[in-house]
Chain A
Amino acid sequence: EAGVAQSPRYKIIEKRQSVAFWCNPISGHATLYWYQQILGQGPKLLIQFQNNGVVDDSQLPKDRFSAERLKGVDSTLKIQPAKLEDSAVYLCASSFQLTLNTEAFFGQGTRLTVV
């Protein structure tokens, strides 16, 4: 079974530039998550989708971050404009459905460096 695919693996941009990350979840998984992981900390949830609808985006900095999952499959996360503090690993995860008795599968992440 193919895992969660993310691209690119690494990205370096200057502050105030824009950047986009792409995620393709495991086939058939309805729930998709984006997490931000700053060095030395645990992952922090940014947004959660169920199919193509947003379940929770309360921790997404909406002035600069946006995410979409238009067809309920793959998803993109965008930052515009980027700040130095956005340097982090951005992780995408998916799970089969929105229930408790199931696990989430994570991609390898995109490491963003803002200079």
Chain B
Amino acid sequence: DAKTTQPPSMDCAEGRAANLPCNHSTISGNEYVYWYRQIHSQGPQYIIHGLKNNETNEMASLIITEDRKSSTLILPHATLRDTAVYYCTAAGAGSYQLTFGKGTKLSVIP
């Protein structure tokens, strides 16, 4: 599975867009990029995933670069409830496993 790299922490003003980057330069062709978040004292929560194309759902947008070596999770209008640790991970055929690093701690500031 591809190794992912994320900044340890980020701040975002409430109401502004939060852009969380992830580097996955060793990703292989059949590996999906997944994003999860973990709010304090809860289990991780699925946000979004994608293979090649950009994806959008009710929670967020996922922008994957054309070479697939990096991606950005966008929370369009961050709220205080979006304060959490955000994990980027990649999973491919053969393992179907999610391997989590330390993630990015996003703090939304009032």
Chain A residues within 8 Å of B, Cβ to Cβ:
4, 31, 33, 35, 40-45, 48, 55-56, 91, 93, 98-101, 103-109
Contact = CB atoms under 8 A, between A and B. Distances in A.
Contacts of B101: 42
A44 B32 CA distance: 19
A93 B95 contact: no
Given A100-B32, A106-B45, 18 more contacts: A33-B97, A33-B98, A42-B102, A45-B97, A45-B98, A48-B97, A55-B96, A56-B97, A91-B43, A100-B30, A100-B91, A100-B93, A101-B32, A104-B46, A104-B98, A105-B46, A107-B43, A109-B42
Nearest to B43: A106
Contacts of A43: 44, 100
B98 A108 contact: no
Q: Give the interface size class of chain B.
A: 20 to 34
Given A100-B32, A103-B49, A41 B102 contact: yes
Contacts, number: 53
Contacts of A45: 97-99
B92 interface: yes
B97 A109 contact: no
